[in-house]
């Protein structure tokens, strides 16, 4: 995979899968625009990109704000002249509660970031790609976008919506040379996963971690780097006729039905 001379724009790039994707793009030759709601986190990732001998731009943005999204797209194009790869990755997990008890404000907040944020990214990046005649987009969905996760109604609904956006956009822009795919991680070794386990089992998060890992056919969680590798594949010429697809990275958990997948 060679991204020399290309520009990758990654939202939620300040940590986890987003950070791993930024660093992977850098190691394969791309310049990287790192977007995060915490500018300090974006700067930390940008420094890792520079250590990989690549050019980086750190940007703060609230992905639920159309003005902020237009701003990160404009700044990236002003700095680098183009956007070749867009990793539409920013997302939040929300609270854990049954549907009948789920807080309305929490539900709206999850959909605002995970659905409206993903839509706005597509809304403002795709015209730039159409204008230059091509590009690749990877939306970060989840195995929770394919199967249910009890207690996570907002997250599940949002990630099903991301897959719907992926399929719709893919069909609309395929003839313009733009591919749009989704990556669907299962449990991943990230800070977000640890916080989720502490929320679900505050008295025994280590025990929940052990049980979740044991439920994986591979016996472990995915690493952020493993998910990033799939993202880079989908952005690369190796996936030149792949669009509208959902790539699962969950250690075989959803395929075997061994347990209900946990959010990434």
pLDDT tens, position by position, 159-213 = 999 999 999 999 999 999 999 999 999 888 777 777 776 676 677 767 777 777 7
The answer to whether position 1 is within a domain reads: no
Q: Do 53 and 136 fall into the same domain? A: yes
pLDDT tens figures, 60-91 = 999 999 999 999 999 999 999 999 999 999 99
Model confidence at 217, in pLDDT bands (50, 70, 90)?
Answer: confident
What is the per-residue pLDDT for 262? 43
Q: Do 45 and 102 fall into the same domain? A: yes
Extract the tokens encoding 112.
């605002």
Domain containing residue 198: 187-221
Q: Do 182 and 212 fall into the same domain? A: no
Q: Do 110 and 125 fall into the same domain? A: yes
Number of domains in the chain: 2
The residue from 102, 155, 221, 247 that is catalytic is 155
Q: Do 138 and 107 fall into the same domain? A: yes
The answer to whether position 255 is within a domain reads: no
Model confidence at 230, in pLDDT bands (50, 70, 90)?
Answer: very high
pTM, to two decimals: 0.92
Q: Do 40 and 92 fall into the same domain? A: yes
The answer to whether position 165 is within a domain reads: yes
Is 155 designated active site? yes
Nearest by Cα to 19 from 79, 87, 102, 70? 87
CA torsion 129→131→132→136, rounded to 10°?
20
Mean pLDDT over the full length of the chain: 92
In this predicted structure, the answer to whether residue 264 has a pLDDT above a threshold of 80 is no
The answer to whether position 158 is within a domain reads: yes
Q: Is 119 left (phi over 0), alpha (psi -120 to 50) or beta?
A: alpha
**CATH classification at residue 232:** 3.40.50.720
- CB neighbour class for 230 (10 Å; exposed up to 12, middle 13-18, buried from 19): buried
């Amino acid at each position: 995979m060679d991204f020399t001379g290309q520009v990758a724009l990654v939202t939620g790039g300040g940590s986890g899968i987003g950070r791993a994707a930024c660093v992977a793009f850098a190691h394969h030759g791309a310049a990287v625009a790192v977007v995060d709601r915490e500018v300090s986190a974006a700067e930390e990732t940008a420094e890792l990109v520079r250590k990989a001998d690549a050019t980086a731009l750190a940007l703060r943005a609230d992905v639920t704000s159309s003005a902020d999204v237009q701003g990160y797209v404009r700044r990236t194009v002003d700095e680098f002249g183009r956007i070749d790869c867009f990793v539409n990755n920013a997302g939040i997990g929300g609270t854990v509660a049954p549907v009948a008890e789920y807080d309305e404000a929490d539900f709206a907040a999850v959909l605002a970031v995970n659905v409206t944020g993903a839509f706005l990214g597509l809304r403002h990046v795709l015209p730039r790609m159409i204008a230059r005649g091509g590009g690749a987009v990877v939306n970060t969905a989840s195995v929770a976008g394919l199967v249910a996760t009890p207690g996570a109604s907002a997250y599940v609904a949002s990630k099903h919506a991301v897959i719907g956006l992926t399929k719709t956009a893919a069909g609309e822009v395929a003839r313009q040379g733009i591919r749009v795919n989704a990556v669907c991680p299962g449990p991943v070794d990230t800070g977000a996963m640890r916080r989720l386990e502490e929320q679900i089992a505050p008295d025994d998060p280590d025990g929940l971690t052990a049980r979740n890992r044991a439920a994986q056919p591979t016996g472990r969680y995915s690493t952020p780097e493993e998910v990033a590798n799939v993202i880079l594949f989908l952005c690369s010429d190796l996936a030149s006729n792949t669009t509208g697809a959902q790539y699962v990275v969950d250690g075989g958990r959803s395929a075997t039905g061994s347990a209900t997948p946990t959010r990434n």
